[in-house]
Amino acid sequence: MTNIAKRHEPIRLAMIGGGPGAFIGPVHRIAAQLDGEFKLVAGTFSSDPQRSLQAGLSYGIECDRAYGDVESLIAGERSRPDGAELIAIVTPNHLHFSAARAALDADFSVMSDKPATATLAQALELRDIVARASGVYGLTYTYTGYPLVREARARIAAGEIGVLRKVVVEYFQGWLAGAPEQAGNKQAAWRVDPARAGMGGCIGDIGVHAFNLAEFITGHQIIEINPQLDVMVKGRSIDDDCTILTRYDNGATGYIAASQVATGERNGLTIRIYGESGAIAWRQERADRLVLTAEDGTQTILWGGTDALGPSAGEASRLPSGHPEGYFEAFANLYRDMARKLRGGDAPLLPTIQEGVRSMAFVATSVERNGGGWTSLQI
Amino acid sequence: MTNIAKRHEPIRLAMIGGGPGAFIGPVHRIAAQLDGEFKLVAGTFSSDPQRSLQAGLSYGIECDRAYGDVESLIAGERSRPDGAELIAIVTPNHLHFSAARAALDADFSVMSDKPATATLAQALELRDIVARASGVYGLTYTYTGYPLVREARARIAAGEIGVLRKVVVEYFQGWLAGAPEQAGNKQAAWRVDPARAGMGGCIGDIGVHAFNLAEFITGHQIIEINPQLDVMVKGRSIDDDCTILTRYDNGATGYIAASQVATGERNGLTIRIYGESGAIAWRQERADRLVLTAEDGTQTILWGGTDALGPSAGEASRLPSGHPEGYFEAFANLYRDMARKLRGGDAPLLPTIQEGVRSMAFVATSVERNGGGWTSLQI
Amino acid sequence: MTNIAKRHEPIRLAMIGGGPGAFIGPVHRIAAQLDGEFKLVAGTFSSDPQRSLQAGLSYGIECDRAYGDVESLIAGERSRPDGAELIAIVTPNHLHFSAARAALDADFSVMSDKPATATLAQALELRDIVARASGVYGLTYTYTGYPLVREARARIAAGEIGVLRKVVVEYFQGWLAGAPEQAGNKQAAWRVDPARAGMGGCIGDIGVHAFNLAEFITGHQIIEINPQLDVMVKGRSIDDDCTILTRYDNGATGYIAASQVATGERNGLTIRIYGESGAIAWRQERADRLVLTAEDGTQTILWGGTDALGPSAGEASRLPSGHPEGYFEAFANLYRDMARKLRGGDAPLLPTIQEGVRSMAFVATSVERNGGGWTSLQI
Amino acid sequence: MTNIAKRHEPIRLAMIGGGPGAFIGPVHRIAAQLDGEFKLVAGTFSSDPQRSLQAGLSYGIECDRAYGDVESLIAGERSRPDGAELIAIVTPNHLHFSAARAALDADFSVMSDKPATATLAQALELRDIVARASGVYGLTYTYTGYPLVREARARIAAGEIGVLRKVVVEYFQGWLAGAPEQAGNKQAAWRVDPARAGMGGCIGDIGVHAFNLAEFITGHQIIEINPQLDVMVKGRSIDDDCTILTRYDNGATGYIAASQVATGERNGLTIRIYGESGAIAWRQERADRLVLTAEDGTQTILWGGTDALGPSAGEASRLPSGHPEGYFEAFANLYRDMARKLRGGDAPLLPTIQEGVRSMAFVATSVERNGGGWTSLQI
């Protein structure tokens, strides 16, 4: 490979997963290329070689770079002078680990969709692999890419609301309130299947986002949890609803509530953090604003793209305030961070395998200790 | 007493508590008289006879009907042909029981502020007293008086969102985030003092509202709870923050979260109920609207005072839609219910001692089983 | 009459209008008595003596004080030692002038519903009558009674948003979008009848509120208008929709838009004021908040009942923040102002006949110069 | 050129304008390439050849395709077998016409930023040029690309709110409330300079968006206007604030209000349309929702990405509901429409030169008849 740092051209990207009917694959593809930092050049988009080829062509990939399996992709791209440099992993959860391991072992950098792995043991092993790898490993906890999330983190770190006391995170969706997995919905099918989703259902799919967001914004670790996971729709073997009471390393308390059977909710991720001298709140569905509340109840609303924001949020916006940016752009910020790292720079906000390990510990402990009261989450 | 049912004149009201600096006393006074159904004629407004007299005069009470203690009030009013007919109890919690007992035993009707009593044992005893009393007993769980709360109840009862699955109730305030009890705030002082507030702090002051609202709107009983109560501000001996996981008699789950240290929150009571085919949400601070959500995420916003509402909500509004009604008017609806009962009619929505008993069981069980996992709440 | 200033007892109130089916009559009745400052003792509630009597009894009036016409009311109450002291005028518009004149000439004080009169000539004449009267004259431009409206006025007067540049006022209702006057709606019937409503339809009914609110909050006079009035529903002879471009005495511009055929709007009164260094906005349907916007777009939301508000708003609230107050309470603030004036105090925010004259000039000029371009409004 | 219709590869795009410091250039660049339909291959990004080259390199353009002027771009790209097929024009307004003419005359297709031209005469001439050109001409009235705007148009066309009566459009910004043009802001400088912006200031920059949106959503033409344009900040020679009363071809009335001195407003474009049986409202800053209001005031909120939307909105979304899409994605929808047209398909929603002519007539008439009352806008 040529030296990425000294190049003007886009970094070459391959993708594992993301074929027809996928949700997160197209998001990675659009987000990675949005700023011109990456160019998709190869991939194995489906385990069916014909479908992989077809998908590749539709994405503008040359036909000999649409591979039928991961091994061929890695071997093929490794052998080319213009081979891929970063591999995005966008498969169902159970394939994340093996793909990441193979890619890292072959000196590729990796951008993995969350969760990092299907089990905690895998996550711990992957941490070791990353530690000795030549490539960079990034994990797309999407919501850390939103400008106002970064602003919230910066303000809390600066002490703007004082010592934190209470952290409430909710992630409510309703799309599994019926039983779409029985009606041919592929996205639903693998998420309710422990063989492909991992041991956690709702907690593994979206609970981890809430967990990661809480630790990202607060800058504190959750050290004890009291988990309650439930199956609300008959016939499922893994949770579709959960509430986890939490204690943070500084004494703050709170809860993480996630559900995929909250009928009618779309992508209702919200976080509210109460400190001794103020509060801060963010709602993903209105991602371009941050609400600060003073002790007397007066609220200050900060809007994305304004001069009121600090540098971490400022860098993460592309448009003047009032011109909404959204999910693709948040995702693109993670890829921008990855590009910066690959070019030798610093990108401290990009989630790493460390966040992957903590998230998997959260899932594993919640599942194992479901309904059993308080337990430690130190890892 | 003359027969209330056949009279045009306002029903005569006495008040226990509600002197200078009180919060809820003036609310009762204004609410009771708002529709002209009651007229305040007597009271013991303070344990200090001079202050009681002064308060009485300022409320337009004749000087011989501003009593220095409950016994005198009861004796005095009982002996007059134009004596009070309903006694409103608006003292700190620890005095509710004895005042209610005395009034009921003397054949007065009673409108008590919540909680019904300071302990569960008292509540159970009061239930017996009410059962054999000649007067009517009502309990001002304020939020049941809001038109849109009644609409929510009616729609759920009619099956509009299907079988209920998840019930999330939050009641967040921030006014105890500092330590106002140490700065001369009387309202704060008695609430953090177990001798006057009862065994529950935040849970007894506002958690019970959330609990009552949940059972009122859903029409279901909470049969199991998993309570976590915390003291967040040093020096307090009773909880100022709590989260209680809940299970309902139909299998629905959820949680009740209440806090008085959620900095900057004003009176943040919200309830969201998810059923198999839709959801319904209400927020006290925007009391005149109800949000229904369909499975596909489409929302319907119902506004107070419109023809879209059913009879229970319609009766509870006084103004055309868009002319905000609020807390006083909700409270006045409870007094209107009481008037209807006193005049021999039916008012099934007015909280009774039964709601008082259940709320006290919720408080007592939460305090006793704090942190201990799931426990039954059947009573 | 006894000296009001030195009395503890409520001020005695009589009412002209406000019989069965009325909208604004009951509002006056409840608002006046809400704080215990007034007591309704007499009235002529209907031009039909039987109906007037019936209404009076239902309001707790003694039967000899429910009069059949204004003359009897004035004569009767004047002759009693305990006669009414304030007369509230709550009839359709065309009767305001004669009632106010009769009451003032007989040394009563007057609280008149808006508009002050049916014509500008009457308003000018009434101004002279008020000038020489012994009683006080107040005009219920309701929206000036809201705490946050008073806060907005105080902040603008203090220069908080700099020199004003642009003032946008909208008052959109939809209740006349159909033709309810043809379906037996009494409220609609008189409002679309120029004989009873006066020369202005929508502009006289709600446009004047918008006009008054603009001048009240900004502290500036509108000196030029460019009016456009339309009849949108066939068969009406007076406007049901209007937009009036405005220029203020300090050079600010803007517009007042009012409609009663804006289908689905309930009581959509909003005002947005842009100054050189910030903006301020208020919406009646969310009356308990005020939104300030800084130059960089950051918004500050002030809530009623908090310590963030100044004294004029503080005095106008009765409850802790987060306990919504609404229309009745705003209205009651006007009566509280009136009580203060009657007791010899100062109440500079209570609208007077001067506001009545300006509003009538606004209506008259708009109607006369409809569609004719810019014209002066100096009076 | 090869036949676009039969190709899988992206359509080749050149750009005129869009160098360093530009606002809309990068938007076009990202939006055009977001779906992989276009690939930027050439451009003249600045009138300074060095800067143009530098910009081109940073966008991944080969160095011989970053031209120093429009003529070279057209000659150069025309002579290549792999030359650009579509030319995007993203310069200040005064250059739109000559660039579009040159490109169309040389058989390129054109995507022009709005307004189409600097004068009405140019727009009319361009209409003739387009009529005889072999290429396609599209005009990026951005807001027509939002899914919910298309939904609104479809629902109104289907008669969902009945005959339209009142159309209120506001476009309020505050970024010119100071005088940024005097502080080195290039975006501000050309917009307040009639030599570069054209005869209209605020009306030409954003008023036209409001005008276009009104006609797009309603499906009706504005046939009479009563314009008022003002200069609020001293020293400017063209308007920075305007309000235009409007009449539609079906008898509906309303107004278009636009301002760039509405301090603190960010990109406040809103439209509210009242019909005989309902209303519909959209706000750009909350672009993913549409609010329908029924006659009784009940509101229905439709969210982007849900099954509740029709095909025109459905096609325009890329993500599940609740994952916000914004300005780039709306813009990308216009490019998607252009791609469809270039590939021989139909894209009836993409604004054409006809919309360009009408918008310029709106600007020209407003400027010429400023303050003069009602005038015709038929063209």
pLDDT tens-digit profile of B251-269? Answer: 999 999 999 999 999 999 9
Closest CB to D166 among C226, C259, C276: C259
C302 interfacial to chain A (CB closer than 8 Å): yes
pLDDT category at A152 given cuts 50, 70, 90 is very high
In 3-state terms chain C splits into helix, strand, coil percentages (rounded to 5) of 40, 25, 40
Closest residue in C to D275 (Cα–Cα)? C263
In chain B, residues with a C-beta closer than 8 Å to the C-beta of A278 are: 263-264
Interface B-D: count of C-beta contacts within 8 A: 40
In chain A, residues with a C-beta closer than 8 Å to the C-beta of C294 are: 308
Q: Do D263 and C293 touch (CB under 8 A)?
A: yes
- State yes or no: pLDDT of D2 exceeds 60: no
C293 interfacial to chain A (CB closer than 8 Å): no
Helix axes B120-132, B353-368, angle to 10 degrees: 170
Interface B-C: count of C-beta contacts within 8 A: 102
Q: Do D328 and A329 touch (CB under 8 A)?
A: yes
Distances in Å between the Cα of A347 and the Cα atoms of A136, A336, A364, B272, C210 are 11, 9, 28, 39, 53
Q: Do B30 and C318 touch (CB under 8 A)?
A: yes
The mean pLDDT value for B283-296 works out to 98
Backbone angles phi, psi at D362, to 5 degrees: -60, -45
pLDDT category at D199 given cuts 50, 70, 90 is confident
B267 interfacial to chain C (CB closer than 8 Å): yes
Closest CB to C306 among A296, A301, A307: A296
Closest CB to B373 among A161, A275, A373: A373
Q: Do B263 and A296 touch (CB under 8 A)?
A: no
The mean pLDDT value for C335-352 works out to 97
Q: Do C274 and D174 touch (CB under 8 A)?
A: yes
Q: Do C322 and B265 touch (CB under 8 A)?
A: yes
- State yes or no: pLDDT of A2 exceeds 70: no
pLDDT category at D194 given cuts 50, 70, 90 is confident
C314 interfacial to chain D (CB closer than 8 Å): no
Chain C closest-CA separation from residue B93 CA (Å):
20
> Per mean pLDDT, which range of B179-188, B364-373, D158-167 is the poorest?
B179-188
Task: Specify the pLDDT at position B155.
Answer: 98
Closest CB to C321 among A297, A302, A306: A297
Closest CB to D60 among A9, A23, A26: A9
Radius of gyration of chain C (CA): 20
Residue given tokens 């159309």 in the structure block: D167
- State yes or no: pLDDT of D313 exceeds 70: yes
> Per mean pLDDT, which range of B31-45, C11-25, D254-268 is the poorest?
C11-25
Distance CA C353, CA C127 (A): 6
D21 interfacial to chain C (CB closer than 8 Å): no
- State yes or no: pLDDT of D4 exceeds 90: no
Strands laid side by side in the D11-16 sheet: D38-44, D11-16, D86-89, D109-113, D137-140
- State yes or no: pLDDT of B1 exceeds 80: no
Give the neighbours of chain C: at least 3 Cβ pairs within 8 Å: A, B, D
pLDDT category at A1 given cuts 50, 70, 90 is very low
| Chain segment D132-150, per-residue pLDDT in tens | 999 999 999 999 999 999 9
Task: Specify the pLDDT at position C67.
Answer: 96
Closest residue in C to B268 (Cα–Cα)? C322
Task: Specify the pLDDT at position B8.
Answer: 72
Task: Specify the pLDDT at position C7.
Answer: 77
Give the neighbours of chain B: at least 3 Cβ pairs within 8 Å: A, C, D
For the entire predicted model, the pTM comes to 0.96
D227 interfacial to chain C (CB closer than 8 Å): no
A185 interfacial to chain D (CB closer than 8 Å): no
Closest CA to A132 of A353, A288, A328, A300: A353
Closest residue in C to B323 (Cα–Cα)? C327
Closest CB to D297 among B296, B299, B321: B321
D278 interfacial to chain C (CB closer than 8 Å): yes
pLDDT category at B190 given cuts 50, 70, 90 is confident
The mean pLDDT value for D31-46 works out to 95
Distance CA C195, CA C192 (A): 9
Q: What is the percent of chain A where pLDDT is above 90? A: 89
Which secondary structure element, helix H or strand E, spans residue B376, and what is its range? strand B375-376
Task: Specify the pLDDT at position D107.
Answer: 97
D245 interfacial to chain C (CB closer than 8 Å): yes
A168 interfacial to chain B (CB closer than 8 Å): yes
Q: Where are the beta strands (DSSP E) in chain C?
A: 11-16, 38-44, 86-89, 109-113, 137-140, 164-172, 222-230, 241-248, 253-259, 268-275, 278-283, 289-294, 299-303, 375-376
In chain D, residues with a C-beta closer than 8 Å to the C-beta of C255 are: 243, 255, 257
Closest CA to C126 of B85, B10, B146, C115: C115
Closest CB to A174 among B255, B259, B295: B295
| Structural domains of chain A, ranges and CATH numbers in brackets | 4-143 (3.40.50.720), 147-314+352-376 (3.30.360.10)
Closest CB to A275 among B263, B279, B372: B263
Task: Specify the pLDDT at position C318.
Answer: 96
Q: Do A274 and B253 touch (CB under 8 A)?
A: no
| Chain segment A247-286, per-residue pLDDT in tens | 999 999 999 999 999 999 999 999 999 999 999 999 999 9
Task: Specify the pLDDT at position B90.
Answer: 97
- State yes or no: pLDDT of A80 exceeds 70: yes
Closest residue in A to B258 (Cα–Cα)? A254
Distance CA D234, CA A221 (A): 55
Residue D68 vs residue D187, higher pLDDT: D68
The mean pLDDT value for D70-95 works out to 96
The mean pLDDT value for A351-373 works out to 97
Closest CB to B328 among C173, C322, C329: C329
In chain B, residues with a C-beta closer than 8 Å to the C-beta of D302 are: 298
| Chain segment B302-328, per-residue pLDDT in tens | 999 999 999 999 999 999 999 999 999
The mean pLDDT value for C99-116 works out to 97
- State yes or no: pLDDT of B378 exceeds 90: no
Distance CA C14, CA C39 (A): 9
Task: Specify the pLDDT at position A16.
Answer: 97
- State yes or no: pLDDT of B67 exceeds 80: yes
Using alpha carbons only, give the angle B232, B237, B238 rounded to the nearest 5 degrees. Answer: 70
pLDDT category at D1 given cuts 50, 70, 90 is very low
The mean pLDDT value for C180-207 works out to 90
Task: Specify the pLDDT at position C21.
Answer: 79
In chain B, residues with a C-beta closer than 8 Å to the C-beta of D296 are: 306-308
- State yes or no: pLDDT of D354 exceeds 60: yes
Chain A closest-CA separation from residue D298 CA (Å):
18
Q: Do C27 and B324 touch (CB under 8 A)?
A: no
Which secondary structure element, helix H or strand E, spans residue B119, and what is its range? none
Closest CB to A303 among C297, C300, C322: C297
pLDDT category at D192 given cuts 50, 70, 90 is confident
Cβ(A209)–Cβ(A141) under 8 Å? yes
Closest CB to D326 among A30, A175, A325: A325
**Virtual CA dihedral for A58, A64, A68, A72, nearest 10 degrees?**
-140
Backbone angles phi, psi at D230, to 5 degrees: -130, 150
| Beta-carbon contacts of residue D269 (< 8 Å; ≥ 6 apart) | D143, D169, D170, D171, D206, D209, D210, D213, D283, D284, D285
The mean pLDDT value for C60-79 works out to 95
Helix axes D70-78, D96-105, angle to 10 degrees: 20
Q: Do C263 and D373 touch (CB under 8 A)?
A: no
Distances in Å between the Cα of A305 and the Cα atoms of A141, A146, A268, C17, D178 are 22, 12, 23, 55, 18
> Per mean pLDDT, which range of A351-360, B17-26, C40-49, D280-289 is the poorest?
B17-26
Cβ(D108)–Cβ(D74) under 8 Å? yes
D263 interfacial to chain C (CB closer than 8 Å): yes
> Per mean pLDDT, which range of C100-114, C326-340, D39-53 is the poorest?
D39-53
D307 interfacial to chain B (CB closer than 8 Å): yes
Chain C closest-CA separation from residue A324 CA (Å):
14
Closest CA to C141 of C56, C206, C231, C67: C206
Q: Do C298 and A306 touch (CB under 8 A)?
A: yes
User: Residue B24 has what DSSP assignment?
Assistant: H
Q: How is residue B188 written in tokens?
A: 């704060």
In chain C, residues with a C-beta closer than 8 Å to the C-beta of D245 are: 228, 243, 245
Alpha helices in chain B (DSSP H): 24-34, 49-58, 70-78, 96-105, 120-132, 147-157, 186-191, 194-197, 202, 208-218, 311-315, 327-342, 353-368
